[in-house]
A and B are shown apart, each in its own frame.
Chain A
Amino acid sequence: GQQLNQSPQSMFIQEGEDVSMNCTSSSIFNTWLWYKQEPGEGPVLLIALYKAGELTSNGRLTAQFGITRKDSFLNISASIPSDVGIYFCAGIGDKIIFGKGTRLHILP
């Protein structure tokens, strides 16, 4: 079945650093979504991407829909403590599939 490989699984960074994470699949998707989830809460939608090659920003977050339609990338610039959480990608084709998440930790 369809699967998303999200990497890295976790990241430990210093405040102020930039962050990059990605999702890849062997399947083609028509839409990519990026969510952030904090403990005990539901995922919060960050960015939606609808077209191959599309680059979309939301504040310090930038996401790209890969040109092959099989991958997507999320970058966070100048990380701050409130960026801590789990970031999920989701690909939508004939079904919606979520990755397993990237856990972002910020070192004091």
Chain B
Amino acid sequence: DTGVSQNPRHKITKRGQNVTFRCDPISEHNRLYWYRQTLGQGPEFLTYFQNEAQLEKSRLLSDRFSAERPKGSFSTLEIQRTEQGDSAMYLCASSSFGQIYEQYFGPGTRLTVT
């Protein structure tokens, strides 16, 4: 399977704990995006990388959130001191240099904060 993969698929954590999610994009794609999706809503943009450079961050990305893509391949999204409001599906997408607008999504990581 050469699509976008995300791990874990599900994460249940207690409020106050830190969590980290991983995204592996399609191998030839140089852009990688993170989104958050809550029930009944469309995906909301969080941040994106071109290669290893983080080029844009949404104001939704509070100080407790940090994303990295150290070698321009996989990316991690960390949430520190989780809150119940962080419960959501976290989606990763990637796109190629030639077709930057055509974003291909992974299956997502469902986070539940108890």
- Give every chain A residue within 8 A of B44 (Cβ-Cβ): 98
Q: A42-B4, A42-B91, A95-B45 are in contact. Are A100 and B104 (CB under 8 A)?
A: no
Q: A41-B108, A42-B4 are in contact. Are A98 and B42 (CB under 8 A)?
A: yes
- Give every chain A residue within 8 A of B106 (Cβ-Cβ): 42
Q: A90-B42, A100-B40, A100-B41 are in contact. Are A44 and B102 (CB under 8 A)?
A: no
Is A99 located at the chain interface by the 8 A CB criterion? yes
Is B43 located at the chain interface by the 8 A CB criterion? yes
CA distance A73 to B63 in the complex (A): 38
- Give every chain A residue within 8 A of B91 (Cβ-Cβ): 42-43
Choose from A6, A48, A101 the contact partner of B102 (Cβ within 8 Å). A48
Is A45 located at the chain interface by the 8 A CB criterion? yes
Q: Mark A9-24, 1 if CB is under 8 A from B, else 0.
A: 0000000000000000
* B101 contacts A92, C-beta separation under 8 Å: yes
- Interfacial residues of chain A within 51-108, with CB under 8 A of chain B in the complex: 88, 90, 92, 95-96, 98-101
Is B51 located at the chain interface by the 8 A CB criterion? no
- Give every chain B residue within 8 A of A99 (Cβ-Cβ): 42
Q: How far is the CB of B61 from chain A (nearest CB, A)?
A: 14
Give 3 closest A-B pairs by Cβ, nearest first: A98-B42, A42-B105, A31-B101
